[in-house]
Amino acid sequence: MPTTFTRPHASLSRSLLSASRLGPSLLLSASVLAPLACDDATADRDDASAIDLRDGGACPCDGGVDHLGNPVSTDVCGQQVCGEDFQYYACGPTGWVAQGGVCGGDDGCDCPGGTDHLGNPVHATTCGQQVCGEDFQYYACGQTGWVAQGGVCGGGDDAGDDDCDCPGGTDHLGNAVHATVCGQQICGEDFQYYACGQDGWVAQGGVCGGDDGCDCPGGTDHLGNAVHATSCGQQVCGEDLQYYACGQDGWVAQGGVCGGDGGGGLVFTTPAQLQSALDNGVDVRGATITFPFAMNVTMKDFRDVHFAGGVDGGWFFGTELDGAVFSGLVRRAPFLYADLDGADFSGATLDRCDFAFTVNADTATWPAANAITRTVWTGSGSRSAAMLPHTRLDTLVAPATLDALLAGGLVSDGMLGSSWRSYLYDSYLACVGGGTSKYFHLKSYVFDAVDGRYSGGSYVSPAGGPTLAFMHDLDYENNATPEFAGYIDRALADLIASNEAAYLDDPFGGRVSWSSERGVVDALADLYASPEAWYAALFNYAVQWNTPTASRNAAEIALAPDTIAATLATLGGAARQQFINLAADRLFSMEDLVGDPYRATIVAAIHAVLRARPAGAMPCPHL
């Protein structure tokens, strides 16, 4: 949609001045309108609008209507009128210019509690009465109390001149400015007003500078429209969603974020444009993306966004996609933990997508079955295989192998949850290592990478996603993988031996994987010399984990089996027996010690083990 940019000091819309029942019109001199200057020398600056408003001149202003309904036309620069909206307007070179302020007479206004710039209390009872406030800005009395009018005031012999000293200023023409009078105003080099205050130069905002021969071609606004400005100070929201102003040397970056308010309307035609918006904190909700989307937008807010160009490899981990619309081909895209509440895929063709553990997938609209290929559903709803049941295992005395448990009818097979996926992946990585073709192939199964990004396309998705029995019996290139079967059998043995309630669907017992121990728990022990300070820090250190509740604290990280064994070797007496009771099942985190009578002794022992251990990777927990 094309955008027209106008100068902020554009002429007054004539429809804003009309009739009113209020008191007589106010036709004030130009000196009331202009910001107070320190002396007449500032009239020499090349700022046409400021000169005209202050000193009068040839200004054609017709078509105005005052607050009594009288038509107003004048050619006197600076002539002021009270308009139909009970605000002041002044005649300028480009027509009527809104000045703000409240005018129109006394309609019961009462404004107590004011203080002027000299520190005197002010209690006004007349609508429109104006005062120079203690912050050297104008205020007017309105029916709801004092109303800020902006502008700078307070100059002169009584304004505390000797208290202000503002060196180092530069005006919009490049001249150095050193002001010594409170309230002195200049048009700065960034085409904004600045005033001299007791603490130095104070930004007043607004756009200034007038037309001094500026010419700024080659601009592009945030909607992709070409912009050629010829007025100094003309501002535009650029294609990188930041403000730019036209200066004598071309476009000048103003900073700030523009273009997005969550109400829609933004259109992104390139990945670079969208990435710039995200980097600068622009609200992209409701935007339209016209290019094939292939970006990583983990944990971002993309509600109501229209992916008009489809998706080709985009990564939506934990992304808010409520109300988003997907069109065209959507392929090779993982949506793990994304919120799909009300999302619309009905106009899309899905190929090799992964909707593992998505939220509110049942409220989304999906395409017909023939428009969905090689796509895994492991979240809630009928499209997924049944998840592993929440079957309690610590009460069992059956053999620990999955095959035996299944054969005995004690548990049922089902889809892997996030805890099992982390357990299998972390175990394989610690015990075997990454980088091999087998590793990447197994990684594809663990994370439902149906797009083949880990296995080179050789991955074949089980219906509904990988189950525990499938992973236990997985065969890769006719080579059995006993390491996975061994990991699963050991985890089941730990769950059955647990001293706490332990369930089939969670091999960590609600804890964060011990893969984070070395990088977080151990690292914090090296940082805190005091065991108690270290223990307290664990509860205040947030970690991110791939669960719907991503934010956990470090006290929830399971200790690695080798750390548990090393700590047990240093303890004795009742503290040793208590630690055996807590950690013999290898399901233990520092949070388990809350309220324990031997907490201080066990904390000190674990702390000493971690600080004495040389840095290194975690050993295989199953050896």
pLDDT of residue 87: 74
pLDDT of residue 568: 95
- Is the CA virtual torsion 608, 610, 613, 614 positive or negative? negative
pLDDT of residue 459: 73
pLDDT of residue 212: 56
For residue range 63-106, list pLDDT tens digits in order.
Answer: 888 767 788 888 877 777 777 776 777 787 788 887 766 566 54
CA angle 511, 584, 548 (to 5 degrees): 10
pLDDT of residue 207: 64
Three-state SS for 79-127 is CEEEECCCCEEEEECCEEEEEECCCCCCCCCCEEEEEECCCCEEEECCC
Q: Which residues in 372-522 belong to E strands, given as ranges?
A: 372-373, 475-476, 479-480
Run of H or E residues at 577 = helix 573-583
Residues 484, 468: contact at Cβ < 8 Å?
no
pLDDT of residue 260: 57
- Distance, in Å, from the CA atom of 205 to the CA atom of 192, rounded to the nearest integer, reads 5
- Distance, in Å, from the CA atom of 98 to the CA atom of 186, rounded to the nearest integer, reads 20
Furthest-apart CA pair in the chain: how many Å? 101
pLDDT under 50 in the chain at which residues? 1-57, 106, 156-162, 211
Query: Three-state DSSP class for 212?
Result: coil
Please report, as a single letter, which amino acid is at residue 37: A
DSSP string, 352-408: S-B-TT-BSGGGSB---GGGEES-B--SSSTTSPPBPP--B-TT--S-SSHHHHHHT
What tokens does 265 get?
A: 């309307």
pLDDT of residue 36: 26
pLDDT of residue 310: 95
- Distance, in Å, from the CA atom of 340 to the CA atom of 502, rounded to the nearest integer, reads 31
pLDDT of residue 54: 31
What tokens does 73 get?
A: 């036309």
Helix axes 418-431, 482-496, angle to 10 degrees: 120
Residues 128, 141: contact at Cβ < 8 Å?
yes
Q: Which residues in 206-242 belong to E strands, given as ranges?
A: 216-220, 226-229, 235-237
Polymer length in residues for the chain: 623
What tokens does 438 get?
A: 């087998």
pLDDT of residue 399: 59
Helices (H) and strands (E) in the chain, counts: 13, 31
What tokens does 124 get?
A: 């006004």
Residue 454 is given by DSSP the state: T
Phi, psi of 498 (to 5 degrees): -65, 145
pLDDT of residue 291: 93
Residues 228, 217: contact at Cβ < 8 Å?
yes
- Distance, in Å, from the CA atom of 505 to the CA atom of 501, rounded to the nearest integer, reads 12
pLDDT of residue 256: 61
Q: Is 585 left (phi over 0), alpha (psi -120 to 50) or beta?
A: alpha
Query: Three-state DSSP class for 276?
Result: helix
Query: Three-state DSSP class for 61?
Result: strand
Cβ contacts of residue 433 below 8 Å, gap of 6+? 439
- Distance, in Å, from the CA atom of 152 to the CA atom of 197, rounded to the nearest integer, reads 10
pLDDT of residue 429: 87
What tokens does 83 get?
A: 């308009």
- Distance, in Å, from the CA atom of 503 to the CA atom of 507, rounded to the nearest integer, reads 7
- Distance, in Å, from the CA atom of 51 to the CA atom of 342, rounded to the nearest integer, reads 58
